[in-house]
Amino acid sequence: NPVKAAAEKAVEVLRGDGGPPDGIPGRPGAEAPPVDEPTAARGPLPPKPDQSGPETVSPTGRPTGAAQADMAQGGEYLTTAQGARLYDTDHSLKAGARGPVLLQDHHLREKITHFDHERIPERVVHARGAAAHGVFKGYGTAAKVTKAAFLAKDVETPVFTRFSTVLGSRGSSDTVRDTRGFATKFYTAEGTFDLVGNNIPVFFIQDAVKFPDIIHAGKPHPDREIPQAQSAHDTFWDFVTLHTEATHHTLWNMSDRGIPRSYRMMEGFGVHTFRLVNAEGATTLVKFHWKPRLGVHSLVWEEAQLVNGMDPDFHRRDLADAIEAGAYPQWELGIQTFPDTPDQTFEGIDLLDPTNIVPEELAPVRPVGLLTLNANPSNFFAETEQVAFHPGHLVPGIDITDDPLLSGRLFSYLDTQISRLGGPNFAQIPINRTHAPVNDMHRDGMHQTAVHTGVAPYRPNSLDGGCPFLAGADTGAYIEVPREVPAAKKVREAPASFSDHFSQPRLFWLSMSPVEREHIIAAYTFELGKCYEQSIKERGLKVLANIDPELCEQVAMGLGLPAPAATVSLTTPAPSPALSQLGQTWPLDGRVVGILVDADGDLDGVRSVREAVLDAGMVPLVIAPAGGKLEGGGEPVAVQRTYVTARSVEYDAILVAGVPGIGSDAYAARDAKAAEAVAPAGAATDPRVQLLLLEAFRHGKAIGGWAGAERVLESAGIPVGTPGVVTGDSGTGTLEQVKQLLGQHRVWERFPIGV
Ligand code: HDD
């Protein structure tokens, strides 16, 4: 078999144990094109439990549904989409090796055509995201207020959660200043429930009709399509300063909440007030909260900007790495409940206004279940990209209110999937399939994958025996709460209670610690400072004056403009401590500790510290002048980062094990001049080590050292004794001190330092 022989020859050549090939395939003199050896088919990945939608069987008897993985890559041989085996996929069919490509090459046309259509429109907002599978376990504590079965005690429900930024395109950076989406699909036995929330509990607008306006203002300018994934530009600030109901959400964005440290360290909020219904039909108003087990933490702005360059996928990678390492992120779902009174207000707060929060001190958040994300998607496109959320995906026991923002969303999400996912059958895409039995009588349409049987997809019918049947309250039907709608005129108006745009932003500002206020001032100064239009900066200051005079004055000083006076009377509400991110001690899971060392450092100490870091559920990364392994004493120490690949922003804390050498040694042999440039002769410490330590210091990170590390710290200008810079007699002793510091997340005493 000449084809097989050529293939064997090619394999030999590749292995380097046969001479040169007889001829280059496709050129004159070549014997025959080499072909790939058929390899054993890799079995389909086991379906995840939460992907196991209803199994169906096609008319040929071939199972579909979860077994689709099998259809995707099951065969042993490379084939066309129609299953015909191929002998070559590297050369077009030509009239002679140097001749024109023939139109009749159906494999070429099929391969290129499919490729041409690989992309689908990105989401119009929340285009950039990352997701994970998991499980939700009900505590049963909500049983009195809702009959939702998935909240019952110990019921486990598969989930898929997608986190996102709002403004940026699919390829934009993760750590931009923006709101984060936090959308969870619960595949419950009673149908799918989607909680489509954000990491900020309020929204920019009170009525969905303005959604295109806020998004057009926030997206890049339509002429040059800049800036990408940023709010620091004229159109955004033009809109949010003219439209003062955006003040509260904008203030949260300018706070540390706008730059989370990790998706794993964000709160989530359902934002709107929903209505719960219990088994007796009694209703309760509710706000949903996600509380991260690791606490709520943020980057500092300078760090966020550096991360965008160093690792634009920082949040995406962090989530996937943590799950892969078994450090499964967890959140408790909590509810704030309010009596379902006719006016739908609580302590004077209008619950239908999505620019309002209800302080947790007034209505405590009560935990009702636990979310654990424990599996990464196996295919980004199939799962993270194609997942389709919708606030109207509700289950019995959870109903909506008349929040006008929510009403518009109930229309928008279904509509958007039709253009994004190419038609009305997106519910059949594996990640979107409900785990409850379906008989929706929907038929046909683009990308129909089901082969429906029967002749009567209508009701009532006699031809299909009257199937499917209607459910009642006792058989799990979703029945809307029969709420009375007061007699009213048809108007385009907002209620008077929606007109207070400043007292809740003021509450937020007054609840911040001094460091958090400093960060907010810096953020407004940065963002307004990036606007070109003087009038927009001035209007921005007028808005700030209505939140707080000090905030306004500080930002005005930074902009070099006079601070205007408030145009509303400022109240002084009691602060809500729950709004501040500071003041508690948090678990250390998944925090990253960089360990700086070279072959002359205390390698034994590094070995013990690595173990101790791992024991604490954290991630140790050894940083050395060059890659490979550090030899000396016991087991060689593997190096994960070098002076070239390390940047401070990757670490939550840095430990220095001795006096790490000048990294230029690695270059010296190759290029003495370059080595001199990196580390001038006589420099005590490699400048990249100094930068690493100095940046870590600026960003409030814990720094520790032993075995003579004081010298290195001093050379970086951060002597031992400055807050959060510690030394010890041993590696593990130093780590213990650093762990104490890490529990507070950052060394807050170092602020303000102008970042
Ligand atoms: Fe929205 C996506 C959250 C208001 C219209 N939204 C989207 C996603 C999240 C939110 C997390 C991403 C879902 C995913 O990962 O696929 N949106 C919110 C929150 C809002 C909000 C918390 C206010 C409380 N959204 C809102 C309004 C409208 C939309 C008022 C329109 C009237 N949102 C959409 C959308 C998106 C979307 C255009 C884009 C992609 C998608 O829906 O599936 O329909």
Model ipTM?
Answer: 0.99
CA distances from 709 to 28, 199, 260, 714 (A): 67, 40, 32, 9
Nearest CA to ligand 1 atom 40: 123
Instruction: State the alpha helices, DSSP H only, in 270-403.
Output: 301-310, 314-324, 380
Nearest CA to ligand 1 atom 19: 197
Q: Assess whether 555 and 597 both reside in one domain.
A: no
Give the span between the Cα atoms of 244 and 241, in whole angstroms: 6
Rounded CA Rg of the chain: 30
pLDDT of residue 590: 87
Q: Assess whether 260 and 407 both reside in one domain.
A: yes
pTM for the structure as a whole: 0.90
pLDDT of residue 115: 95
pLDDT of residue 673: 61
pLDDT of residue 83: 87
620 occurs within a structural domain? yes
The ligand 1 atom nearest the CA atom of 417: 43
Check if 125 has its Cβ closer than 6 Å to any atom of ligand 1: yes
In the annotation, is 442 catalytic? no
Check if 409 has its Cβ closer than 6 Å to any atom of ligand 1: yes
Give the span between the Cα atoms of 65 and 58, in whole angstroms: 10
Query: What CATH number is given to the structural domain containing 570?
Result: 1.20.1370.20
- Is 162 annotated to bind ligand? yes
Check if 126 has its Cβ closer than 6 Å to any atom of ligand 1: yes
- Give 199 Cα–ligand 1 centroid separation in angstroms: 13
Check if 412 has its Cβ closer than 6 Å to any atom of ligand 1: yes
Of the residues 579, 610, 637, the one at which a domain ends = 579
Whole domain around residue 540: which residue ranges? 503-579
16 occurs within a structural domain? yes
pLDDT of residue 71: 53
Q: Assess whether 263 and 369 both reside in one domain.
A: yes
pLDDT of residue 724: 97
Q: Assess whether 236 and 359 both reside in one domain.
A: yes
Query: What CATH number is given to the structural domain containing 385?
Result: 2.40.180.10
The ligand 1 atom nearest the CA atom of 416: 44
- Is 182 annotated to bind ligand? no
479 occurs within a structural domain? no
- Give 230 Cα–ligand 1 centroid separation in angstroms: 18
Instruction: State the alpha helices, DSSP H only, in 49-105.
Output: 68-73
Q: Assess whether 291 and 320 both reside in one domain.
A: yes
Q: Assess whether 551 and 599 both reside in one domain.
A: no
Q: Assess whether 28 and 146 both reside in one domain.
A: no
pLDDT of residue 633: 86
DSSP 393-417: ---TTEE----HHHHHHHHHHHHHH
Query: What CATH number is given to the structural domain containing 646?
Result: 3.40.50.880
Residues of the chain with pLDDT under 70: 1-73, 662-684, 754-755
User: What domain count does the chain have?
Assistant: 4
Q: Assess whether 18 and 136 both reside in one domain.
A: no
90 occurs within a structural domain? no
pLDDT of residue 244: 97
552 occurs within a structural domain? yes
pLDDT of residue 576: 97
Burial-class residue 448 by CB neighbours within 10 Å (0-12, 13-18, 19+).
middle
Single out the catalytic residue among 126, 248, 297, 315: 126
Single out the catalytic residue among 107, 198, 199, 393: 198
Q: Assess whether 509 and 368 both reside in one domain.
A: no
Check if 433 has its Cβ closer than 6 Å to any atom of ligand 1: no
Q: Assess whether 646 and 733 both reside in one domain.
A: yes
Q: Assess whether 597 and 677 both reside in one domain.
A: yes
Q: Assess whether 221 and 342 both reside in one domain.
A: yes
pLDDT of residue 567: 97
- Is 263 annotated to bind ligand? no
Give the span between the Cα atoms of 39 and 20, in whole angstroms: 24
Give the span between the Cα atoms of 200 and 189, in whole angstroms: 29
- Give 390 Cα–ligand 1 centroid separation in angstroms: 8
- Give 267 Cα–ligand 1 centroid separation in angstroms: 17
Of the residues 558, 579, 600, the one at which a domain ends = 579
pLDDT of residue 49: 41
459 occurs within a structural domain? no
Check if 123 has its Cβ closer than 6 Å to any atom of ligand 1: yes
- Is 750 annotated to bind ligand? no
Best residue among 126, 198, 405 to mutate for probing ligand 1, ranked by most atoms within 8 Å of CB: 126
Burial-class residue 278 by CB neighbours within 10 Å (0-12, 13-18, 19+).
middle
Q: 461-512, pLDDT tens digit by residue? A: 999 888 899 999 899 999 999 998 889 999 999 999 999 999 999 999 999 9
The ligand 1 atom nearest the CA atom of 412: 44
- Give 262 Cα–ligand 1 centroid separation in angstroms: 21
Of the residues 384, 417, 432, the one at which a domain ends = 432
In the annotation, is 126 catalytic? yes
